[in-house]
Each structure stands twice: as C-alpha cells, then as structure tokens.
C-alpha cells in the first residue's frame, strides 16, 4: 500500500472527539480546507471549493488535541492521507479522505497560540480555559458562572488582547510540574 504524506492547512470544522478503544485512545475531528486564489481581474482573493478530511490522532497526540483545538480554529495537520472508495447499494460511489495525523498545530499566521508542554505520566485534559462566549471558552449564560470558568480576558480598554493575557489550556498531572521540568539554562 502506497502511503502519501500530506500537510493540510484549514479550520477545525467539528469538535475533537476522544474515544477509548481496545488498542488505546483515539481522537478525531473534521478539517475544512478551502483553496484560495488571487483573481487578477477583481484584484482580490477568491475562495475556491472546500474539501473536508477526517483527521485521526492516537495516544498523546489525540489526548493533547482534545484540550487544544476548538471548532473554527485554524490548524495545520501533517500525516498519512488515506482515500477510501466505496460502492453504495444504490449504485453510486462515495469517496472519503482520512488523515492519520503525525503532527497538528495552530496556524499562527492567523493568530497567536501558547504552547504548554505535557510530560509523561497521568496527564489528562481538563478543558479549555477562556472567557465566557469566546472560542474555546465556556458558553455564555448562567451555567458558565457556576462552572468555575476563568475570569474574562483583560483588555486595554480598546478590546485588544495581548498574547500574554490569553488563558492557557489547563492540564492535570499525576507528577508535579516542578519535578518534571529539567533545569536547563537558556
């Protein structure tokens, strides 16, 4: 079987789902990739067709995805492309494309991201921190107030948010961070 490695740039179209299986945990989400081109006549960018891929990630990558990526966020996915061709009972054919991810990250050409290292041990995602109503934050409403959600992100009065003010993903670990972080000078 010929495996093709691809790198896709797009947006998370669905929430990341985590499932325990007999061989370990696996996460999946749908990725929307829209081609763009510059139209010289209009002197503007034009969106082309959108392709959808199902992205699969196992073990640590899958676990980290569950607390890191939310619907609509721009991401870069690198992995093995698998295209399936299926004949249906009604005589039609269906094609689907899956990517077994090797690496996934935020597309920081379109925003900022704060990386938090997770060390081996019993790390498990708790949930995304963020202001109520913001992408990745708790939903607005009375349930958000009682959920122990983080305080709103501070701004400078103009609505602008500094990268240092963006809340990070919260992780629980069986090993204290101070014991797991190597002390290396920079």
Q: Report helix, strand or coil for 164.
A: helix
Cβ–Cβ under 8 Å, residues 89 and 44: no
User: Which of 43-52, 98-107, 169-178 is least confident?
Assistant: 169-178
Residue 180: exposure state from Cβ atoms within 10 A (0-12, 13-18, ≥19) = middle
What is the rounded CA–CA span in Å between residue 186 and residue 178? 17
pLDDT tens for 113-138 read 988 887 765 445 545 544 444 444 44
pLDDT of 87 reads: 86
- Section 167-182 average pLDDT: 38
Whose tokens are 């701004």? That residue is 155
Read off the pLDDT band of 179 (50, 70, 90).
very low
pLDDT of 91 reads: 87
Distances (CA, A) of 152 to 117, 121, 165: 24, 31, 10
Looking at the DSSP assignment, which residues form a beta bridge with residue 47? 36
Token pair of 157 as six digits? 């009065």
Q: CA nearest 96: which of 37, 137, 55?
A: 55
pTM of the model: 0.62
Calculate the average pLDDT of the chain.
Answer: 74
Cβ–Cβ under 8 Å, residues 150 and 167: yes
Q: Does the pLDDT at position 82 exceed 60?
A: yes
- Section 69-74 average pLDDT: 95
Q: What is the DSSP string of 141-159?
A: SHHHHHTTPPPPPP--SSS
- Section 43-72 average pLDDT: 93
For the chain, strand residue ranges (E) read 4-12, 17-21, 24-39, 44-58, 74-87, 93-106, 124-127, 170-172
Instruction: Measure the N-to-C terminal CA separation of the chain; round to a whole number of Å.
Output: 45
């Amino acid at each position: 079987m010929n495996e093709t490695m691809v790198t896709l740039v797009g947006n998370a179209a669905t929430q990341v789902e985590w499932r325990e299986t007999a061989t370990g945990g696996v996460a999946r989400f749908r990725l929307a990739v829209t081609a763009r081109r510059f139209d010289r006549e209009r002197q503007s960018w034009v969106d082309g067709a959108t392709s959808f891929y199902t992205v699969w990630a196992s073990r640590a990558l899958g676990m980290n995805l569950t607390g890191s990526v939310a619907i609509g966020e721009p991401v870069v996915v690198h992995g093995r492309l698998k295209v399936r061709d299926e004949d249906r009972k009604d005589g039609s054919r269906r094609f689907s494309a899956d990517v077994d991810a090797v690496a996934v990250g935020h597309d920081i050409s379109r925003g900022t991201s704060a990386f938090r290292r997770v060390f081996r041990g019993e790390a498990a995602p708790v949930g995304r921190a963020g202001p109520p109503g913001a992408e990745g934050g708790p939903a607005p409403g009375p349930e958000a107030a009682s959920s122990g959600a983080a305080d709103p992100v501070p701004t400078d009065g103009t609505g602008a948010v500094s990268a240092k003010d963006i809340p990070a993903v919260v992780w629980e670990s069986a090993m204290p961070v101070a014991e797991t972080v190597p002390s290396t000078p920079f």
